[in-house]
Chains A and B, each alone.
Chain A
Amino acid sequence: MRKWLLFALVVWLAAGCRQAAVGLQLAGSTSVQPVAEVLAEAYARAGGSRVSVQGGGSTAGVQAVLNGVAGVGAVSRRLTPGERARGLAEHTIAYDVLAVVVHPDNPLTGLSRRQLRAVFDGSVTDWAQLGGRPGSIHLVSREAGSGSREAFRSLVGPVSPHAIIQSSSGAIRVAVMDDPRAIGYVNLAALQLGRLKALRVDGKAPGGPGYGLVRPLSLVTRATPAGEAAAFLRFALSPAGQQVISEEGLVPVRGQSKQN
């Protein structure tokens, strides 16, 4: 009896090992990582193989694809001409749009990107310096490691260590909509929930043409993707994949015609 139990245990463990085998490795940008993980889950539910998602940064992701460690890389920037020349292709799956938000009572309607940088690095500390109502500026930012924060840092500049930290776009929304002196940044999904005023940046409204605080999020493959990599890419760009992307607060690259 005992022997049989032991045997069953070994078989079960071995089966577990086989199940854990990974079909596809995805590595790269930590900004893409959260959405890539959700995509990987949805892909597995839709019958795809298991996708293991790792961070490491855009450049590490490109490197991983080049030396064959990962089938798919994730980047939150454009590929450089050098990288493209080495036989890689990028496929943009989503846009990450950051909206700079203030309390609806704030009289300001917009800032230049340079002003925005000065506000968030802590060198401008009073709304009067920006032509607003006098009062200290309350910065609200995301936590270190978050994709939005990383995007903000690369598109605008460093964030002062004095900034209030909230760990989701939703929490930033709550902090800003309650405080007439606050300024923060959120993704479009949080902005669309309302009770916030989005500032124009360099005269452009968020989500509109020419708006600056946008990053393409892309998957990187060999020039002609094949096998598992091609299948995952197809899923990411399919209606189901794009639905997952918009649920994560990103702007999908397909299916916007429905909204127009």
Chain B
Amino acid sequence: MQGALLACAVLSSAAVLLIALFVVAEGWPAVPGLLGDRWSPEDGLFGVRAMVWGSLAVTLGALVLAVPAGVGMALFLTEVASPALAGLARPLLQTLAGVPSVVYGFVGLSVLVPAIRRGLGGPGFSVLAGALVLGVMILPTIAAVAEDALRALPPAYREGAAALGATPWQTVRRVLLPAARGGITTAVVLGLGRAMGETMAVLMVTGNVAMAPTSPLDPARTLTGNIAMEMGYAVGRHREALFATGALLLALVMAVNALARRVGR
């Protein structure tokens, strides 16, 4: 029994290590060229700086939208809603988490992109469209983890605040949120990791221009989108550069996870 369980553990950790090893080994020769600011496979240029900016812009945009909404949702579920209402809202949130990303992308492409183009100008394919789609996608993650953090607080905190005559808003702002800070930060970092790794939905709405965006209405290409789009026929150095992009992405996601473990403690 113990042996079988050990085998399971070894298998899953070996999978991670092997993937990381493979990606780094395949991409190694292209690593020096990765720092350049132009990505133009036809000219032999494989700099991913613009994509790093693209990924960061879209991810941060998503967090700006999803963190207040997600934490607000968690506060609503724990502090405001009656158990019956919370029981109704929670499954809806879970459903949101289960929608496949290509569906988000398709809705974004058919609704958001034309709306942004008509309402705000530009081509519509933009950082903003990507951030909106991603924000909705990571909202359930952030809300669920933040809700757990708030629920884990001892009732004495709320009772003590009430006994001191604090208003509900004062209780939330001065007592509950500071006390649940660790759990909420974990929620944010998990959302961040998910946003950075998401591919399909972002690819469909950001326009994939390999240049650093200078406004939310500019198109942008993410690291994930870069791989997904060009892997089909990439050979030689181009293929190595895509693996190197993957290695960079892996390193970023690992850094985010390490951060999540540290702040979660």
Q: A residues within 8 Å of B by Cβ? A: 30, 33-34, 55-56, 138, 143-147, 153, 161-167, 171, 174-175, 178-179, 181-182
Q: Nearest residue in A to B106 (C-beta to C-beta)?
A: A174
Q: A138, A145, A163, A174: which contacts B238 (Cβ < 8 A)?
A: A145
Complex interface: chain B residues within 8 A of A179 (CB): 114, 117, 123-124
Residue pairs across A and B with Cβ atoms less than 8 A apart, 24 shown, are A30-B233, A30-B235, A33-B233, A55-B233, A143-B208, A144-B40, A144-B42, A145-B234, A145-B238, A146-B232, A147-B233, A161-B38, A161-B210, A164-B207, A165-B209, A166-B208, A167-B203, A167-B228, A171-B204, A175-B125, A178-B113, A178-B117, A179-B117, A179-B123
The answer to whether B109 touches A174, judged by C-beta atoms less than 8 angstroms apart, is yes
Quote the shortest CB–CB distance from B206 to chain A (angstroms). Answer: 9
CA distance A112 to B122 in the complex (A): 26
B 105-134 to A, binary, CB cutoff 8 A, 1 in contact else 0: 000010001100100000111000000000
Q: Nearest residue in A to B239 (C-beta to C-beta)?
A: A145
Q: Nearest residue in A to B221 (C-beta to C-beta)?
A: A165
CA distance A179 to B235 in the complex (A): 34
Asked, given contacts A143-B229, A163-B209, A182-B123, whether A153 binds B221 with beta carbons under 8 Å apart, the answer is no
B 222-260 to A, binary, CB cutoff 8 A, 1 in contact else 0: 000000111011110010000000000000000000000
Known: A146-B233, A175-B125. 4 other contacts (CB 8 A): A145-B232, A162-B209, A178-B117, A181-B123
Q: Nearest residue in B to A179 (C-beta to C-beta)?
A: B117
Size class of B's contact patch?
Answer: 20 to 34
Quote the shortest CB–CB distance from A116 to chain B (angstroms). Answer: 18
CA distance A234 to B28 in the complex (A): 43
Identify the 8 closest CB pairs spanning chains A and B, nearest first: A165-B208, A144-B41, A145-B233, A164-B207, A138-B123, A167-B229, A143-B229, A178-B114
B183 contacts the other chain (CB 8 A): no
CA distance A243 to B227 in the complex (A): 31
CA distance A174 to B235 in the complex (A): 28
Count of A-B contacts with CB under 8 A? Answer: 66
CA distance A138 to B126 in the complex (A): 13
The answer to whether B219 touches A164, judged by C-beta atoms less than 8 angstroms apart, is yes
B 173-212 to A, binary, CB cutoff 8 A, 1 in contact else 0: 0000000000000000000000000000001100111110
CA distance A10 to B230 in the complex (A): 38
Complex interface: chain A residues within 8 A of B113 (CB): 178
CA distance A147 to B203 in the complex (A): 20
Complex interface: chain A residues within 8 A of B123 (CB): 138, 164, 179, 181-182
Q: Nearest residue in A to B235 (C-beta to C-beta)?
A: A55
Residue with the greatest number of chain A CB neighbours at <10 A, chosen from B42, B221, B228: B42
Complex interface: chain B residues within 8 A of A162 (CB): 209, 211
Asked, given contacts A167-B203, A179-B123, whether A161 binds B209 with beta carbons under 8 Å apart, the answer is yes
The answer to whether A161 touches B40, judged by C-beta atoms less than 8 angstroms apart, is yes
The answer to whether A56 touches B40, judged by C-beta atoms less than 8 angstroms apart, is no
CA distance A153 to B233 in the complex (A): 17
CA distance A178 to B40 in the complex (A): 27
